[in-house]
Amino acid sequence: MSEYSKTLRLMERGREFLGSDYAILCGAMSWVSERNLVSAISNAGGFGVIACGAMTPELLDQEIAATRALTDKPFGVNLITMHPDLFDLIAVCEKHAVSHVVLAGGIPPKGSVEAIKGGKNPAKVIVFAPTLALAKKLLRSGGDALVIEGMEAGGHIGPVSTSVLAQEFLPELADDHLVFVAGGIGRGQAIAGYLEMGAVGVQLGTRFACAKESIAHENFKKAFFRANARDAIASVQVDPRLPVIPVRALKNKGTEEFTAKQREVAGSLDREEIAMNEAQLQIEHYWAGALRRAVIDGDVENGSLMAGQSVGMLKEEEPVADIIQKLMAQSEEALTRR
């Protein structure tokens, strides 16, 4: 590790917060960020994060236990704030003494941050925020660390690029808060740049999606290796009443099917057959099913191939440990050259 001294020094606060060798978080990717990939990342010195997604409390209970059997290193759990069983999922994390809970997908509901931090096994809370004002509010309200994620990322995305968010947020927050940068990061040179700007670490998803330890189907991985940056496109919102967060994925039939699904759900809203909450949940369940078709079943035509724009940098299957060492070496080289 000593050969990465400059990078490690800039990551020091992030490493201390996560309890890991390197302040490199794995983004929570449904069906991909499960026990095998999460434990491999934590064992290799990074910080794995289980993607709870649409899991039931019972499934999450099993997944945390199975991950703990594969690693004695720290790892986190990503919970979607709109999940109907959010407080039960928080209780499962507490039962297993999970050290870090990541809240994603919107403003945390009242009492959720307190529930995570106030139980018998209090956890640290990592939050996401698309605007500086909301970031400050969430950090005041109990968030221990913040992830700023640019539109280059895969999965659910915001409207602003990573480089702009970093320039806006880091000068305002980096002195007093822990900020991780995510979105479009595929090489260590970019990590070095964000660390120099004041970030305490980074989060990468796409870079790990096709790792050797990832259970993603061979067809899924091959689609990533064939793709370039411009193949990862953002979904289109067809009805302004339906607050659908855009999703970045490789273009295929599944992308078109999502547009049709939005129209179907909007029609149900028109006919007052469902409430807005149910409409949003239907959209989330659609993504969970579409992702499973691609990741687990290998249906890369009709399933969802959520990918960030860094997908063009993926050319082969590599062990997680090699990916992390490459990223650290590239970062150190960039910092040394400067």
| Mean pLDDT within 284-292 | 85
For residue 65, pLDDT over 70 is answered with yes
Residue 175 lies in a domain: yes
> How many independent structural domains does the chain possess?
2
Residue 179 lies in a domain: yes
Residue 108 lies in a domain: yes
- Same domain membership, residue 326 and residue 301: no
- Same domain membership, residue 267 and residue 189: no
Residue 183 lies in a domain: yes
Residue 137 lies in a domain: yes
Separation in Å, CA 156 to CA 128, 258, 310: 12, 13, 15
- Same domain membership, residue 233 and residue 153: no
Contact between 180 and 147 under an 8 Å Cβ cutoff? The reply is yes
- Same domain membership, residue 223 and residue 209: no
Question: Using one digit for the tens of pLDDT, what is the confidence trace for 10-61?
Answer: 999 999 999 999 999 999 999 999 999 999 999 999 999 999 988 999 999 9
Residue 184 lies in a domain: yes
- Same domain membership, residue 248 and residue 207: no
Please give the pLDDT value at position 270. Answer: 85
- Same domain membership, residue 41 and residue 131: yes
Token couple for 200: 């305490």
**Closest by alpha carbon to 154, among 183, 115, 187?**
183
- Same domain membership, residue 276 and residue 132: no
- Same domain membership, residue 174 and residue 32: yes
Separation in Å, CA 144 to CA 9, 14, 83, 117, 198: 20, 11, 21, 10, 16
DSSP string, 170-197: HHHHTTTS-EEEESS--SHHHHHHHHHH
Question: Using one digit for the tens of pLDDT, what is the confidence trace for 134-159?
Answer: 999 999 999 999 999 999 999 989 99
Contact between 250 and 227 under an 8 Å Cβ cutoff? The reply is yes
Identify the band that residue 242 occupies on the pLDDT scale cut at 50, 70 and 90.
Answer: confident
| Mean pLDDT within 164-176 | 98
| Mean pLDDT within 247-263 | 89
- Same domain membership, residue 290 and residue 159: no
DSSP, collapsed to helix, strand or coil, labels residue 141 as coil
Please give the pLDDT value at position 316. Answer: 97
> What CATH number should be reported for the domain holding residue 123?
3.20.20.70
* H/E segment holding residue 160: none
- Print the domain residue range for 234: 218-309
Please give the pLDDT value at position 320. Answer: 98
Strands 247-250, 232-234: pairing kind: antiparallel
Burial of residue 222 (CB within 10 Å: 0-12, 13-18, 19+) is middle
Identify the band that residue 288 occupies on the pLDDT scale cut at 50, 70 and 90.
Answer: confident
Residue 338 lies in a domain: no
> Which residues have C-beta within 8 Å of that of residue 64, sequence separation ≥ 6?
50, 77, 92, 93, 96, 98
- Same domain membership, residue 326 and residue 300: no
For residue 243, pLDDT over 80 is answered with no
Please give the pLDDT value at position 104. Answer: 94
Contact between 32 and 214 under an 8 Å Cβ cutoff? The reply is yes
- Same domain membership, residue 282 and residue 155: no
- Same domain membership, residue 199 and residue 232: no
> How far apart (Å, rounded) are the C-alpha atoms in residues 109 and 83?
10
181 vs 264, higher pLDDT: 181
Q: What is the DSSP letter of 13?
A: H
Please give the pLDDT value at position 51. Answer: 97
Residue 10 lies in a domain: yes
Please give the pLDDT value at position 245. Answer: 76
